[in-house]
Structure 1
Amino acid sequence: MKFKFTHNNFNVLNLEKSLAFYQEALGFKEVRRIAPESGEFILVYLGDGVSTHTLELTWLRDRNEPYNLGENEFHLALMVDDYEAAHEHHQKMGCICYENEAMGIYFINDPDNYWLEILPGSKT
């Protein structure tokens, strides 16, 4: 028996704002969308253009209050080929929420306050 990662999910309050953030901050593009006629939810899958792993953004029509993210101890991690350029870009966007210079990593947060760890391409 063999398992393979396929996607992770984040629930979002403002789908358009989240889509714009992930496009600008990480270059993620929509690869699939599920939107039933009832309009009760929309699922949008974002891809990085390199791997088959996707990020599923779930929007629920009847949800108005922010999601409880606990202490934000869970996150997604992404490697970038030009760490310095990415850091500068995220700094200009104002989305860096935590830096650990000793480890050579930093975190950005999306519009719903999910954390995304940014690693230089040489880190594993």
Structure 2
Amino acid sequence: MKFSFAHNNINVLDLQKSIEFYEKALGLKETRRIESEDGSFTIVYLGDGVTPHDLELTWLRDWDRPYNLGDNEFHLALRVDDFEAAHELHKEMGCICFENEAMGIYFIADPDNYWVEIIPSHM
């Protein structure tokens, strides 16, 4: 028996805002979409165009408040080939929420305050 990653899911309050953030901040593009017949939910899969792993964004029509992320001790992580350019972009976007210069990494926060770790490609 062998398992392989398919996707990670996060629920989002404003689907379009989240899609735009992930495209601008990380270059992720929509790969497919599922919409319920009754309009109660939409699921959008975003991919990096390199790996088969997707980020699944789930929007629920009846959800009307920010998601409770608890202590927010979980995160996604992406490697980037031009760390300095990525850092500059994220600094301009105002989405850097934590930097660990000693480790050579930083985190950005998406519109729902989910954290994404940015790692240089050599790590």
Asked whether the two chains share a fold, i.e. TM above 0.5, the reply is yes
Unpaired runs of 5+ residues, structure 1, are: none
Runs (4 or more) in structure 1 with deviation over 2 Å come to none
Backbone CA RMSD of aligned residues: 0.4
Tell me what 1:99 maps to.
Answer: 99
Give runs of aligned pairs for residues 2-13 of structure 1, distance below 5 A: 2-13=2-13
Task: Give, as a single letter, the amino acid of the residue that structure 1 aligns with 2:63.
Answer: R
- Number of residue pairs the alignment of both structures matches: 123
- Identity level (%): 71
Matched, 1:66 2:66: yes
Whether 1:112 and 2:112 are equivalent positions in the alignment is: yes
> Which residues in structure 2 correspond to 1:1-124 (within 5 Å)?
1-123=1-123
1:20 positional shift? 0.5
Measure the CA separation in 2 of the matches of 1:75 and 1:66.
Answer: 17
Q: Secondary structure at the match of 1:58?
A: strand
Q: Deviations over 1:68-123 (max 9, x none)?
A: 11111100000000000000000000000000000000000000000000000001
Structure 2: runs of 5+ lacking an equivalent: none
Instruction: Give distance in 2, aligned partners of 1:102 and 1:6.
Output: 32
